[in-house]
């Protein structure tokens, strides 16, 4: 499995490019799997590692199959500051995703409350009484391909979630009828099986991250291009 890559290291924070396949945090359900948390503790000696309630400095999460930018605090002070920025929605995150169909309009907002599914505790969905969830999107391009002898439409979309619910992007695009390519959980097993013949994982990449430096207050921004596997998918259209 490809190792995480350091995009930037400051005095109080670290920005990583997380490859797909890495679980971010240790948990009872991830025993036996190497995590970003393990990798950080094996490769760095940050003061925050001495504080168990700070998750080794991991401020936010990405799904196992999602690649892209991940923000790590190096000190407890930076961790508290960055958590506050996330809570106050000062952090801007953007993702690139390929979804099924031609999503219309080309630019819009998906607003639908998300909650854990009462039928499957590992899944989330749009439910009455769920937590407010808002996702903005903009179509970058429409794609047409012949797969299994059938013409299929796809949309390459830049997504800016305004809230940070678990599986939010995947749930919202499933909700509007345009599931993420390769998503085995929300796209349906049959469709995902077909997708994974030409796209080996869910097509979701955290491509942009902007926040305020916890020490200086200066706004900083980082970008990450599509990794090789997803870039290869786009070249095949």
pLDDT band, residue 30 (cuts 50/70/90): confident
**The whole model's pTM is what?**
0.95
Return the domain boundaries, the chain. 1-88+211-223, 93-202
Question: Exposure of 236 by Cβ count < 10 A (0-12 exposed, 13-18 middle, 19+ buried)?
Answer: exposed
From the candidates 53, 63, 183, 229, which is the catalytic residue?
A: 63
Q: How many CB atoms lie within 10 A of CB 147?
A: 12
Our CA angle for 56, 39, 222, nearest 5°, is 75
> May I ask the CATH class of domain 1-88+211-223?
alpha beta
What is the domain class of 93-202 according to CATH?
Answer: alpha beta
Instruction: Tell me if domain 1-88+211-223 and domain 93-202 are identical in fold.
Output: yes
Q: Is 149 left (phi over 0), alpha (psi -120 to 50) or beta?
A: left
Q: Is the peptide bond before 105 cis (omega within 30 degrees of 0)?
A: yes
Say if residue 237's pLDDT is above 90: no
Among 54, 42, 52, smallest CA distance to 13 is for 54
Q: What is the pLDDT of residues 1-20, one digit of tens each?
A: 899 999 999 999 999 999 99
In degrees to the nearest 10, what's the CA dihedral of 137, 92, 210, 95? -40
Among 149, 152, 161, residue whose Cα is nearest residue 110: 161
Residue with tokens 């939010």: 168
- The stretch 54-63 carries a mean pLDDT of 94
Q: Which pLDDT score is estimated for 4?
A: 98
Cα dihedral across residues 82, 210, 47, 41: positive or negative: positive
CA distances from 180 to 5, 64, 86, 141, 170 (A): 25, 15, 25, 15, 6
Q: What is the pLDDT of residues 92-135, one digit of tens each?
A: 999 999 999 999 999 999 999 999 999 998 899 999 999 999 99
Q: Is 63 a catalytic residue?
A: yes
């Amino acid at each position: 499995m490809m190792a995480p890559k350091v995009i930037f290291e400051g005095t109080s924070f670290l920005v990583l490019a997380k490859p797909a396949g890495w679980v971010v945090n240790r948990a009872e359900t991830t025993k036996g799997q190497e995590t970003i948390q393990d990798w950080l503790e094996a490769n760095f000696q940050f003061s925050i590692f001495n504080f168990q309630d700070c998750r080794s400095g991991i401020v936010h999460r990405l799904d196992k199959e999602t690649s892209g930018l991940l923000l790590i605090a190096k000190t407890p002070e930076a961790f508290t500051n960055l958590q506050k920025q996330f809570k106050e929605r000062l952090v801007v995150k953007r993702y690139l995703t390929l979804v099924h169909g031609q999503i219309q309009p080309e630019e819009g907002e998906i607003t639908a409350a998300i909650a854990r599914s009462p039928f499957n505790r590992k899944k989330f969905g749009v439910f009455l009484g769920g937590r407010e969830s808002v996702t903005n999107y903009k179509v970058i391009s429409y794609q047409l391909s012949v797969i299994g002898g059938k013409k299929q439409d796809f949309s390459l979309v830049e997504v800016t979630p305004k809230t940070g619910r678990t599986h939010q992007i995947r749930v919202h695009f499933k909700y509007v009828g345009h599931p993420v390519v390769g998503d085995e959980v929300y796209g349906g097993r049959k469709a995902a099986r077909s997708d994974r013949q030409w796209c080996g994982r869910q097509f979701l990449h955290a491509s942009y991250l902007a926040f305020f430096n916890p020490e200086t207050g200066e706004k900083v921004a980082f970008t990450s291009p599509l990794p090789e596997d997803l870039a290869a998918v786009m070249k095949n259209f």
